[in-house]
Amino acid sequence: MADLLVVEDDKDIAELLALFLELQGNVVRQAEDGEVGLKMVRESYPDLILLDVDMPRLSGPEMAYRLIIEDSGKENIPILLVSGINNLAEVAAAIGTPYFLAKPFKLEDIQRLVHLALKQRQRPRPFPSPIHEGRGVA
Amino acid sequence: MKLVRKSSEATAWDPQHDGVEGAYEWLRIALRAAKMGAWAWDLNRRDKFIRRTEQYDRIFEIAPHQKWTRDLWIGRLYSEDQEITSQKMESVITGDKEEYDAEYRIVLPAGGLRWVNAWGRSIRDRAGKPVRVTGVVRDISDEKRLEQDREQFVATLSHDLRNPLSVARSSADLIRRYPDDVVRRDRLFKKIDFSIERADRMIQDLLDSSRLQSGRNLQLPMENSDLSDIVRAVVQEQAELYDGRIIYKVDGSCVGTWSKDGIRRLLENLISNAIKYGKVGGPVTVTLDRGAGEVLLSVHNTGNLISDEEQSMLFQPFYRAKFAEQGSARGWGLGLPLVRGIAEAHGGGAAVQSSLEAGTTFVVRLPIHKS
């Protein structure tokens, strides 16, 4: 049994992910954006964060960077990115997490990656300069 | 120099009648209509001087009598484009290539970038050595912006469609895994239905926007009903979604011919914009005012000033206000064109007012028709 945090602004997706992961025997908390997600992590550290990328107020990558900056063990929490953006692999590389899954996902893939992340516990190792996805300058 | 008529366009100009002056006038008209600047480099001049037209000066933002040389031109090229652009020019100067065609960014004197497209060709002497390169240059910043907006739009669209698909797939997956849980199964079936509806609504929005963009009106089925009932129902649904942040002010009934679905989409768009871009946690007020022969439906939020310049752009497809670009919330840039299109399909219109003190209000004017 693991303590998981789902940070996802789509209520239906968050609810289904939580339901599935609870049926697998985990304890699951839900946050609707990065801001709420941060607050929940500060309350108690989860074993793994399932993190969406595009969210109002504070995006997934921004939340990940905040965790790393805030330090005190939060930077060691593994992150599984779950998102429908086109350049998900790039964003995952920027945060430095090896765990990511594109929407629309299959639950068996969620199960497999959650299992893998909990076993390996690889923490995010970001690039020196964060890449902010989706808003090119030029 | 002997003038040879080569193409059908050339025959429109008669050298006997028009002379060189006439040809020059035609050229000036053509350049002006195409918003093109023209330039010429005499390769024999040691100072690498560039002759150019007024429009060229406007594009590069150079003073009319300022000396302009190849080195100054290279100095204006945006660092990322410098190498490839000057290489292309070099190959025309050396005679390796006949034509020069480049898209590059220039740095403006006051800062900021401008995209230009330049095309030119070399003129050679008897020995075949290039002696001059002449060409035209055009500001393509607007086209580039549109291209980027479209790319962004496709990215956002595919992202947003993947959400209802995820819900449908996960729900189906859960039903398959736990077939005996009847209560949960019914709820999951509902989620699948709802997701398909959601995806279908997105597609409908997309089709309607493309209709509006091609200058056609929306075809909305109209029926006799009470507008205040339609508005109340939507506001109630939205109030549940947004935890009571929505205030509703309406008095009396308002019977007329309305598109129920149209009004619903119009209001959903305005309310979700007000929630997304208004002050965090701030109230959103929906008001229905009945006047003589028309109603004004308005949605107000506090925070986020929209400048006068932006107000006029907001209803353009793919346009996204600065604060919308900077925030984390992503949109298609199609919501407000759709709002205006729906209002116009009712014979009305849509407008926005915004100030620091009063906040932002979108007002939709709908004439009351009765069939």
Reported as a single tens digit per residue, the pLDDT across B81-90 is 999 999 999 9
pLDDT digits (tens, 9 = 90+) for B38-70: 999 999 888 888 999 999 999 999 998 899 998
When pLDDT is cut at 50, 70 and 90, the band that residue A137 belongs to is very low
Q: Checking phi first, is residue B298 left (phi over 0); if not, alpha (psi -120 to 50) or beta?
A: beta
Contacts of B278 in chain A (CB under 8 A): none
User: Cα separation of A21 and B177, whole Å?
Assistant: 13
Whether B297 shows a pLDDT value over 80: the answer reads yes
pLDDT at residue B334 in the model: 77
Q: Determine whether the interchain pair B170/A23 forms a contact, defined as Cβ–Cβ distance below 8 Å.
A: no
The pair of structure tokens assigned to B144 is: 């580039």
pLDDT at residue B320 in the model: 65
Structure ipTM: 0.86
pLDDT digits (tens, 9 = 90+) for A52-73: 998 878 999 999 999 998 878 8
Q: Which of A108, A18, A27 is nearest to B177 (CA)?
A: A108
User: Cα separation of B299 and B335, whole Å?
Assistant: 14
Mean pLDDT along residues B153-175: 92
- Does B79 touch chain A if contact means CB atoms closer than 8 Å? no
pLDDT digits (tens, 9 = 90+) for B91-143: 999 999 999 999 999 999 999 999 999 999 999 999 999 999 999 999 999 99
- Does B195 touch chain A if contact means CB atoms closer than 8 Å? yes
Mean pLDDT along residues B267-295: 89
**Which of B114, B159, B174 to probe by mutation at the A interface, max A CB count within 10 Å?**
B159
Which among B105, B159, B163 has the least Cβ separation from residue A13?
A: B163
Mean pLDDT along residues A84-102: 94
CB atoms within 10 A of CB A46: 22
Distance from CA of B148 to the nearest CA of A (A): 9
- Does B146 touch chain A if contact means CB atoms closer than 8 Å? no
CA nearest A17 in B: which residue?
B170
- Does B329 touch chain A if contact means CB atoms closer than 8 Å? yes
Which among A56, A107, A138 has the least Cβ separation from residue B170?
A: A107
Q: Determine whether the interchain pair A106/B171 forms a contact, defined as Cβ–Cβ distance below 8 Å.
A: no
pLDDT digits (tens, 9 = 90+) for B199-233: 998 888 888 888 888 888 888 999 999 999 999 99
Q: Determine whether the interchain pair A13/B191 forms a contact, defined as Cβ–Cβ distance below 8 Å.
A: no
CA nearest A19 in B: which residue?
B174
pLDDT at residue B328 in the model: 47
pLDDT digits (tens, 9 = 90+) for B231-280: 999 998 888 877 778 888 887 788 999 999 999 999 999 998 888 888 87
Percent of chain A with pLDDT over 90: 80
**Which of B115, B162, B245 to probe by mutation at the A interface, max A CB count within 10 Å?**
B162
User: H or E element: which one contains A21?
Assistant: helix A11-23
- Does A35 touch chain B if contact means CB atoms closer than 8 Å? no
CA nearest B144 in A: which residue?
A138
Mean pLDDT of chain A: 90
Q: Which of B325, B314, B338 is nearest to B206 (CA)?
A: B338
User: Cα separation of B346 and B359, whole Å?
Assistant: 27
When pLDDT is cut at 50, 70 and 90, the band that residue B154 belongs to is confident
pLDDT digits (tens, 9 = 90+) for B321-353: 665 655 545 566 778 889 999 999 999 999 999
Mean pLDDT along residues B144-156: 85
- Cis amide bond preceding B15, omega within 30: no
Answer positive or negative: Cα dihedral of A97, A53, A31, B203: negative
Residue scoring higher pLDDT (B83 or B281): B83
Percent of chain B with pLDDT over 70: 92
pTM of the model: 0.70
User: Cα separation of B295 and B348, whole Å?
Assistant: 9
pLDDT at residue B330 in the model: 56
Mean pLDDT of chain B: 87
Distance from CA of A119 to the nearest CA of B (A): 24
Ranges of H-type helices in chain B: 8-12, 15-33, 54-60, 70-76, 79-93, 141-177, 182-213, 227-241, 260-277, 308-313, 322-326, 335-345
Which among B169, B177, B328 has the least Cβ separation from residue A59?
A: B328
The pair of structure tokens assigned to B299 is: 């949605």
Contacts of B166 in chain A (CB under 8 A): 10, 13, 84, 103-105
Q: Which of B277, B287, B178 is nearest to B227 (CA)?
A: B287
Q: Determine whether the interchain pair B328/A13 forms a contact, defined as Cβ–Cβ distance below 8 Å.
A: no
Q: Determine whether the interchain pair A54/B327 forms a contact, defined as Cβ–Cβ distance below 8 Å.
A: no
3-class secondary-structure state, position B368 = coil
